[in-house]
Structure 1
Amino acid sequence: MEIEIIPECLQFKKPAGTSRGVYTTRQIYLIKACHNNTIGWGECAPLPDLSQDALSQDEYLTLLQRFTCEIEMTQQIPYEELRPYPSMLMGLESAMRHLHSGSWHHYPHTKFSKAESGIPINGLVWMGNIEEMNQRMQQKLKEGYTCIKLKIGALDFDDELQLVKKIRRQYSSTDVEIRVDANGGFQPGDGCMKKLEQLAQLNVHSIEQPIKQNQLDDLAKICQNSPIPIALDEELIGVNSLSEKKELLQYVRPQYIVLKPSLHGGFYGAEEWINEARKLNIKWWVTSALESNIGLNAIAQWTALQSNDQYSMAQGLGTGLLFVRNFDEVPLKLANGKLYTF
């Protein structure tokens, strides 16, 4: 087996506003694994200022090359060595699964791979000013999404609350599910709880990461007392060992965790999170992290494998159409708020 690393700089069709700034380009590293005239593709996609393995390009390539050489020699992925490098692990896992399956359909027996069912996804409303967010929100509703995810915490909260109220005036909670993501934008204390109570009055499904990470005592109190379910996202970054995962979930006791394989341990680490969450009756969903269609396909194929719940609960897999060049050979399409393969 031979493995090649191909750096790629993707161009966003439109600037993508996040809580950490605006992205216009996206640096990724494609993995091309070849064996007996069969090719497997994977994607390593670290996020600047967020991924644990967001290194300089030279550092990233040097380390990734070391791991690919080891895999070429041993024919095995060194999972324990790769725990601190989740984006590398996901890319290498994806390439191996593609290579071994011989198809973009990594797990051909699932309903998703057989094109029998699509995976419902949330309609993500990117950050912007209130008018821009309202226009994007209305467009998602027109496109048939029944789950809308709003990024909040960066603008005036009263204005953000008006966006949620606007949806609720149009649709009941049984017709449209609303999720919000604060990206750590709230401060612990009574002010945070008041905001959660206002959101609860609008039948918001859940809120991701209400306060900044590494405030576990405050976060545990919020999870215990919040009138709406709390979902952990950034809090999972850098929690690599199985014992650390157990300790975090047992102490904080969130209602949900949001799994991003590129950030949270690759598929190997994400499955550990799922197993521990199930023991504590903590629910979960999966989200992509601005990968191209190559990474998005790998995440979707893996998500469909996990349980039948993934065909009823909206996942965060709607970021695959963001780039000018996006590997159209990958068999993915969006329709009526669902992600399909073909």
Structure 2
Amino acid sequence: MKVEGFELRRVAMPLVSPFRTSFGTQTARDILLVRAVTDAAEGWGECVTLPDPVYSPEYTDGAVDVMKRFFIPALAAAGIADATSIGEVLKPFKAHRMAKAALETAVLDAELRAEGRSFARELGSVHDSVPCGVSVGIMESVPQLLDAVGGYLDEGYARIKLKIEPGWDIQVVRAVRERFGDVLLQVDANTAYTLGDARHLAKLDPFDLLLIEQPLEEEDVLGHAELAKVVKTPICLDESITSAQTAAAAIRLGATSVINIKPGRVGGYLEARRIHDLATAHGIPVWCGGMIESGLGRAANLALASLPGFTLPGDVSASGRFYETDITEPFVMRDGRLDVPTGPGLGVTPVAAILDELTTAVEWVPV
């Protein structure tokens, strides 16, 4: 297979409602899509960067720049013929894992479409569908939050994740528990706390949470290991896990007992599978995190979440959770689950008319 070039496409997708976390509020997603064109097929990848470097050092304009100036020329010089070689070719370039992941996913999708194989089969899927979890942002009031949680439970979501930060944590979890009982519940701090908050975070222990996600700064792996000695709620790492190597170190240090695998954050779905395999070997449960992806990224995440080690519901919500109009045929939840696509490659493609309507910029970069 010969890669002929990459199309970098920006699409603007309004959210159905603002989504607030400790690192900012989103009202729309400026999504960078990558289309790989080969002599055998085309493939799609989604870059999950945010407009600003607040969740990670990466940001969307930077991803475009690094792809054009460094990554695509390097792939052209190497004459890549398959997706498995992309990681090695781009290894000399530090970080920028989300940009690398988008390129790798696009080429892998094209490769699998040409061969008639599905993304899920390639990764090692064992399930036809996966349970859906939903992430609930920080809101103006507790009653507003309770109404939102009740609505998601009525829709059939199997697990609720609450975003928390200092001043919006214990009382919020207590209110949800009191209203909704033993629903599967976890919290996500997005690095909003310090080790000095350990005793405060231990007040979450009586609420029988599945986990507390990334309470401390991403570089404070030792701090998470110390925190795990104080709180009984399982510690889950998100931002701290950027590769199988960092996952192995966190597990060895006792800094995490659950791992959130976000493929973009770790450099792609092939590295995500390596982290899954590592965690499974150590008896560490994993789940698939989300970055408010379009249907393209959602399809790939569903494939990943259908691997055997993904024993907790992930952030693989239906299209309607975030978007009134998705760029693919919408993913619709049934009985709290989403079907894993089985068609060639990702198993979905953009709806041309919708994609064109939402597109704000397109650039072709030949190889």
Encode CA deviations 1:294-319: one digit per residue, 9 max, x unaligned.
Answer: 11111211332x21x54x53122127
d(CA) in 1 for partners of 2:222 and 2:38? 50
d(CA) in 2 for partners of 1:244 and 1:234? 11
d(CA) in 2 for partners of 1:139 and 1:112? 31
Q: Which amino acid aligns with 1:204?
A: L
Relative to structure 1, is the Cα distance of residues 148 and 244 closer, same or farther in structure 2, using a 3 angstrom cutoff? closer
Q: Which of 131, 152, 157 is residue 140 of structure 1 equivalent to?
A: 152
Relative to structure 1, is the Cα distance of residues 277 and 117 closer, same or farther in structure 2, using a 3 angstrom cutoff? closer
Q: Which position in structure 2 is the counterpart of 1:264?
A: 266
Say if 2:6 and 2:35, in contact at 8 Å, map to a contact too. yes
Residue 104 of structure 2 corresponds to residue 78 of structure 1 = no
Q: Which position in structure 2 is the counterpart of 1:159?
A: 171
Q: Which position in structure 1 is the counterpart of 2:356?
A: none
d(CA) in 1 for partners of 2:25 and 2:338? 25
Secondary structure of 1:217's counterpart equals: helix
d(CA) in 2 for partners of 1:284 and 1:213? 18
Q: Give me the TM-score of the superposition, normalised by structure 2.
A: 0.78
Q: Which position in structure 2 is the counterpart of 1:201?
A: 206
Relative to structure 1, is the Cα distance of residues 78 and 112 closer, same or farther in structure 2, using a 3 angstrom cutoff? closer
Say if 1:290 and 1:319, in contact at 8 Å, map to a contact too. no
Dislocated runs of 4+, deviation >6 Å: 109-113
Q: Give me the TM-score of the superposition, normalised by structure 1.
A: 0.83
Q: Which position in structure 2 is the counterpart of 1:335?
A: 334
Q: More deviation in 133-142 or 28-37?
A: 28-37
Secondary structure of 1:250's counterpart equals: helix
Q: Which position in structure 1 is the counterpart of 2:104?
A: 93
Show the 5 A alignment for 1:63-74: 63-67=70-74, 69-70=76-77, 73-74=79-80
Q: Which position in structure 1 is the counterpart of 2:362?
A: none
Relative to structure 1, is the Cα distance of residues 263 and 320 closer, same or farther in structure 2, using a 3 angstrom cutoff? farther
The offset of 1:208, in angstroms, is: 0.5
Structure 1 gap segments, 5+ residues each: none
d(CA) in 1 for partners of 2:248 and 2:43? 33
d(CA) in 1 for partners of 2:137 and 2:285? 25
d(CA) in 2 for partners of 1:67 and 1:29? 20
The offset of 1:273, in angstroms, is: 2.3
Q: Which amino acid aligns with 2:151?
A: Q
The offset of 1:283, in angstroms, is: 1.8
d(CA) in 1 for partners of 2:187 and 2:239? 14
> Aligned Cα RMSD in Å?
2.9
Q: Which position in structure 2 is the counterpart of 1:106?
A: 119
Structure 2 gap segments, 5+ residues each: 342-367
Say if 2:4 and 2:39, in contact at 8 Å, map to a contact too. no
Say if 2:75 and 2:86, in contact at 8 Å, map to a contact too. no
Residue 213 of structure 2 corresponds to residue 211 of structure 1 = no
Q: Which position in structure 1 is the counterpart of 2:21?
A: 18
d(CA) in 1 for partners of 2:334 and 2:255? 35
d(CA) in 1 for partners of 2:154 and 2:120? 32
Secondary structure of 2:8's counterpart equals: strand
Q: Which amino acid aligns with 2:37?
A: C
Relative to structure 1, is the Cα distance of residues 133 and 105 closer, same or farther in structure 2, using a 3 angstrom cutoff? farther
Residue 241 of structure 2 corresponds to residue 230 of structure 1 = no
Q: Which of 174, 179, 187 is residue 180 of structure 1 equivalent to?
A: 187
Encode CA deviations 1:262-321: one digit per residue, 9 max, x unaligned.
Answer: 1122123223322332343222111121221111111211332x21x54x5312212744
d(CA) in 1 for partners of 2:155 and 2:45? 30
Q: Which amino acid aligns with 1:283?
A: P
Q: Which amino acid aligns with 1:292?
A: S
